[in-house]
Structure formats: structure tokens, C-alpha cells
Chains A and B, each alone.
Chain A
Amino acid sequence: MQPFTTHTGLVMPLDRVNVDTDQMVPKQFLKCLTREGFGRILFYDWRYLPGEKPNPEFVLNLPRYKGASILLARTNFGCGSSREHAPWGVKDYGFRAIIAPSYADIFYNNCFKNGILPAILTEAEVDQLFQHTESEQGYSLSIDLPTQTIKDAYGHIYNFEIAPSRKEVLLKGLDDIATSLLHADSIATYEKSHPSAATMFDPVDIKNYR
């Protein structure tokens, strides 16, 4: 996984609360077999009019936000479906970090599996960033994960909290599975001492399940 240490980039504001993952990647794109290519369809129904004509009113299509790599969002971002296609889309579009007052649980977890930093600021701070972003074309932010700070060119500094273990995953770009497999012996021991994990009647009549 691509590590995340520092990032400076243009900010795109998405001024809606409770943005759900159905909006990020609608159902018809859940039939893909790979993790790539979801950037083109990110926020599909908002972004495109019928016939895939870009909707000129949607923020992502505004020329001033072209090339944005930091997504500024509202509370409970990423609620609903567990589809990891949503963070795949966010990343594939080019966003490296999201800033919001809160995230839905599964989406938040999924971000860390994909090297995306979901930073949490207070609602008042996020309000302020929305004002800056909307009033100044080209408004950019610099995010520094080691010091957990977000800065702009005018000396505004915002501090964000992140669990140390989450931070480490992003900084080192850790592969969770490799880390967990270091405990293979503990897993095997657990499996021996907890037969209840496997007590299952194996029904003969379902063996030939077709």
C-alpha cells in the first residue's frame, strides 16, 4: 500500500451531510472484478447527466477544482453500504485525503486499507475550511501526518486526532495481512483451544448442494 506522510493539494468542497457510498459508486459499477478505474465514475449520478454528459452544476465538474486531491466533506461521510469501491473511487480519482467532522464506520476503516487519510476536524473548523475553499480559488492545504497538522498558506493551523495504530498503518503503508500472519502460531493455538469456533454439523443432504 502507498504510504501517507505529507500531502499538499487543492481542496474540493462537497457541501452535503450524510453522503452515502451509493452516491460515490452506484450499484451498476459493483459488477467489476478489479479495484481499478472507479475514479471516472466517482459520484456518478451527481456528476453526469443522462448520456454521461458532465453536469456543469456539480462541484467536481467546476474547472476551479480540477486536479483537487483533498476532499472536504460534511458529517457522517461514507454512510451506508460497505462497498470498498467507494474509497477505490476516491483514490482513483486522485484524492489522497478527506477532511470531515465524522465518517461512517466501515468507510473509515476502508480508507486505511487504501492509503487514504480520513482526517477529522471539528464542525466549526470544517465550516471555516468550507468558507476558505469557496471564497478563494486555488485554496490548498498541506497535511502532515507525523505531526497531525493541516496548514494553509495564511498560517491557519488545524490539529487532528488519529489512533496511533491507524497512523502507523498509513505512515508505513503496512499490509495488514502480512502483519496478522506474524501471529499464525497464535491463530493455530486459538483454533485448538476453541473447538466451538468450528462445531458445525455437516449436513450430508447439503453436501451435494446443487
Chain B
Amino acid sequence: MSPTTLYEKIWQNHVVHEEPGKPSLLYIDRHLVHEGTSPQAFAGLKAEGRKVRRPDLTFAVMDHSVSTTDRTLPILDNDAKLQFEALERNCRETGVRLFDMNSKHQGIVHIIGPELGITQPGQTIVCGDSHTSTHGALGTLAFGIGTSEVEHVLATQCLVQSKSKTLHILVHGKRPKGVTAKDIILAIIGKMGISGGNAQVAEFGGEAIRALSMDGRMTVCNMTIEAGARAGMIAPDDTTFAYLEARPFVPRGKEFQAAVDRWKTLKSDDGAKFDATIELHADQLAPQVTWGTNPGMVTSVNGRVPDPHDFRDLNDQKATESALKYMGLKPGTPIVDISVDRVFIGSCTNSRLDDLRAAAHLLAGKHVAKNIKQALIVPGSRGIKAQAEKEGLDKVFIAAGFEWRDAGCSMCIGMNADVLPPHERSASTSNRNFEGRQGRDSRTHLVSPIMAAAAALAGHFVDVREFDVAHVE
């Protein structure tokens, strides 16, 4: 048999029906659902008199609109309240397991999937959310779908799919201290552009990827979508197996060993052909900061805001001009001269324990700068929150002038009260710096958690390598 990629192996293992020249019917192992993109799907199902085929493989959670402050208070946002009620009703009527906002397991859908062991290597996973690519870090084929497709998966536990082209992204060498998984993926997006991976399935490999913790790998796969790719994946290895052992939904004992033996076969064969390959050298990377209005508009912290005339393509010139106008930035400004109003550490990109531990390491015994109006830490899940509190991280953050919040999507998307005000500038560990993403007319700069912590302390962007990062993973 000719050597095949990890993607092809998972694909082959999930084909329910195929005909030449037509898309295939692909089985979906885990369907994750949240309040934002599911009400119309459940309503459509009901209107057609259809049932949820596999409620046991469907998991719902409230994350996008939940408050990150006291949840015992009444919900003031009536639209959000109706959405929560709809999800609760839909789950009750269909038998889908729901982690509601008061569950101790509640959190951002892409955080709790892996955290609870719902996500396991070799699976196909979908969710009505583009950052579903996160789950690929555990060697799954995982991608975001629209609400019509959510309805389709609820009804059939399958999805109509055509095979994607494959992209191999190799990150060689060792990351320097102060350079994180976030910087790797931002640099990749900067190199590829935000449509560079359009509809492809990317597999990450190379020494720098293998050296990442699961938390770091999830950060990388999470933002694969920002390069336009359908999915990102990393073949499972001992790091993955160790992460999964004893998580709630993972098989135990002998069954776990059998699962590991199965999971070990999940990798691209030597000589497997990819449609394209991109290579990067981690040792040459510096911490990254976005300056514009999409994640591909990024440079290193030592860089400067570009001039529209730096670009040859007319459309790029116009896009840069418009981005600088929106961001209130002048060409040539050193990145470290950009001051920051608010700091947000959170989102499905960077709100895991590794992220919080690294930020706390930097913030311990220090205080945010006077010009910082708000510094928020929003753990990705209540599980992470509990563990962080056990380690005393909450006390470090609060002493440093940060607000320690409850779990949810929060200021990444600003669907709850955590909104970045007009014309204010954030250092944010989230995934999108689109116009208005964190709030109308707000200005987002995407960075790693330690770069965000450093910006909070300095009041402006600063090279985190000037801080004590020797022990930061």
C-alpha cells in the first residue's frame, strides 16, 4: 500500500458512503454544540419532524454569551437569556448532554472537549464554530461548520464532505525562550497569509511542534483557521497519551492501553505525499505582535508598523492603508512604542493552564502600569479556573492588578459584557483582530500570554525576552 497521510487515514476510517465524482458521506464521532450557532439547527430539525440521531455523541455547552462575573445574578441581556433557555430546552428535549453555565465543567467548547477527554485521537469532530480546528492538536480531524451543517449532523451524525488538499507545515529547531506556540502560529499565518491555506487540511510537524505541550499544540491548531485552512492536526504521541490518561471520558485501565495502541498508528507514513509543504525555523522567531485588522498583518516585536507602499500589490496597499486608519497607527512606528489601554488573557487560543502559569510567572510581585484601564484574565474553563486557584495563580493575578473572572469566550468576541470600548487598544491573547471584533471601533493586537502580561506591566508593547523568561515554558 502506498504511504498515506494522517488525514487520509482518518478520512478512510470514516467514510460511510462514497460514489465517484461526488462528495462522500463522512461519519462524525463527536459533535460539539454551543448556544450561538445551534438554535436554528434544532428548530429546523423539529420543523421537519427529525430526531437527533446520536445524542450520546453530541455535547453542548454555554460559552459565547455567558457572564464572566457572578452567575447567580439575574441575566440582564434578554437576548442572551433566550438563547441559553433555547439551548437548555433543546438539550432536554433531545437528550443531549449539556454543560450549562453553572456546571463545574463549563468552559469554552474547544477547551472542555480535550480537557474532559471527549476529544480523542483519530476522531472526526465538528462544531458550529470555526475554531474547532483546535481539537486537531490531539490527532483528530476537526473543523468548523455552519448552522445548516449542524442540523445535518444532528439528523444524520454524518457530513457531506469532499476530500481536501493537504499541507505539511514543518517547524524545525528549538523555540528561543520567550517565544511561544502563539508566536509560531502567528509567524506561520504571517508567512502564508490569511487565505494561504484555503480549504486545505494542514498537518504540523517538526522538532518545535513535537516539543510543545498539549496546551501549546492546541494554540497552534486553534489558529490554523486564520490561515484559511479547514483543519490543522498534529499526530498523537506520548505527550498526547499522557495528557489524555484519566480524563473523565477517556477509557480506563486495559481499555486505555488498547486505545493507546490504536492511537499509535495515527501518523503520516514515511514518504506520504502532501500537496504542499511549508517550512519554518523556530530558532529564528521572535515574539509576534499584530498591527492590522487580520491575523496575517503581523510582525515581530522588534519590527515597525509597515508603510502601505511596502506592498507591491494594489489590493494589499489599500488593505494596509485601511487597516492603519482603523487601528490609528502611523507607518514606521516601532511596535514597542504602541501603548495599550486594556489587556485580555483568555479565549480558546490562550486560556489554558500553561498560558496562565506563564503569565503568572511574569506578573508575580509586579503591578500593571498606571495607564492600563483594565486587565482581564478569563480562564478557558471552570476546571482550569479551579486548578489555577489551587496553585494560587488567582492571587498573583489579583495582586498584579488583574481581574480574575469566570470561564467563557469573553472579550475575544464581546458577546457578553466584556467589550473593548471604541478606539481603545488591547493586547489580547485571542485569535482575531478583525474590525469591531472585540467591540465596535476597538483596536486589537494579538500576542502571546507572556507578551500580554509584559504589555500590562509596561503599559505598551515590550519584548518579553527582556523579562525573566528562563523558566517559562
Contact = CB atoms under 8 A, between A and B. Distances in A.
Q: Do A and B bind each other?
A: yes
A121 to B, nearest CB: 15
Interface string A78-90: 0111111001000
Most A CB within 10 A of own CB, among B97, B146, B229, B441: B146
A210 interface: yes
B148 A114 contact: yes
A186 B27 CA distance: 10
A202 interface: yes
Contacts of B64: 30
B48 A22 contact: no
A180 B25 contact: yes
B319 A194 contact: no
B71 to A, nearest CB: 12
A134 interface: no
Nearest to B157: A187
A184 B35 CA distance: 28
Contacts of B103: 209-210
A202 B123 CA distance: 17
Contact of A186 (B17, B29, B434): B17
A22 B437 contact: yes
A177 B151 contact: yes
Interface stretch (A52-60, A104-112, A143-151, A153-161): A104-112
Contacts of B415: 27-28, 30-31
Interface residues of A, number: 63
A135 interface: no
Given A110-B148, A206-B116, A209-B99, A31 B79 contact: yes
Interface in A26-41: 26-28, 30-35
Interface in A159-186: 163-165, 176-177, 179-181, 183-184, 186
A162 B140 CA distance: 29
B36 A201 contact: no
B40 A199 contact: no
Interface in B50-81: 50, 53-54, 56-57, 64-65, 77, 79-80
A18 interface: yes
B139 interface: no
Contacts of B349: none
A140 interface: no
A35 B251 contact: no
A79 B158 contact: no
A125 to B, nearest CB: 15
A34 B83 CA distance: 11
A31 B294 CA distance: 24
A164 B156 contact: no
B262 to A, nearest CB: 7
Contact of B57 (A45, A105, A179, A197): A197
B98 interface: yes
A100 to B, nearest CB: 11
Interface residues of B, number: 89
B460 interface: no
Nearest to B79: A31
Contact of A177 (B22, B145, B155, B437): B155
A92 interface: no
B392 interface: no
B198 A165 contact: no
A187 B195 contact: no
A105 B80 contact: no
A106 B131 CA distance: 12
A82 B29 contact: no
B152 interface: yes
B43 A18 contact: no
Contacts of A84: 37, 40, 128, 146-148
A179 B13 CA distance: 22
B434 A22 contact: yes
Interface string B213-252: 0000000000000001110000000000000000011111
A112 to B, nearest CB: 9
A115 to B, nearest CB: 11
Contacts of B436: 22-23, 26, 45
A198 interface: yes
A67 B82 CA distance: 34
B145 A106 contact: yes
B2 interface: no
A14 interface: no
Contacts of A28: 415
Nearest to B144: A82
B29 A45 contact: no
Interface string A191-210: 10010111111110110011
A133 interface: no
Given A84-B37, A104-B195, A177 B156 contact: yes
A152 interface: no
A81 B144 CA distance: 9
Interface in B1-57: 13-14, 16-17, 21-23, 25, 27, 29, 36-37, 39-40, 43, 48, 50, 53-54, 56-57
Given A22-B434, A180-B152, A199 B294 contact: no
B198 A33 contact: no
Most B CB within 10 A of own CB, among A179, A181, A187: A187
Contacts of A200: 56-57, 118, 249, 251
A165 B22 contact: yes
B149 interface: yes
25 contacts: A18-B319, A20-B432, A30-B64, A31-B77, A34-B43, A45-B435, A79-B228, A81-B432, A82-B37, A84-B128, A87-B146, A165-B21, A176-B148, A176-B160, A180-B25, A180-B155, A180-B156, A194-B14, A198-B57, A201-B117, A201-B251, A201-B252, A201-B255, A206-B116, A209-B99
Q: Top 9 closest A-B pairs, CB basis? A: A113-B148, A31-B79, A84-B146, A76-B195, A110-B146, A82-B144, A105-B199, A203-B248, A84-B147
Given A110-B149, A163-B162, 6 more contacts: A32-B79, A80-B434, A84-B148, A104-B198, A114-B148, A190-B16
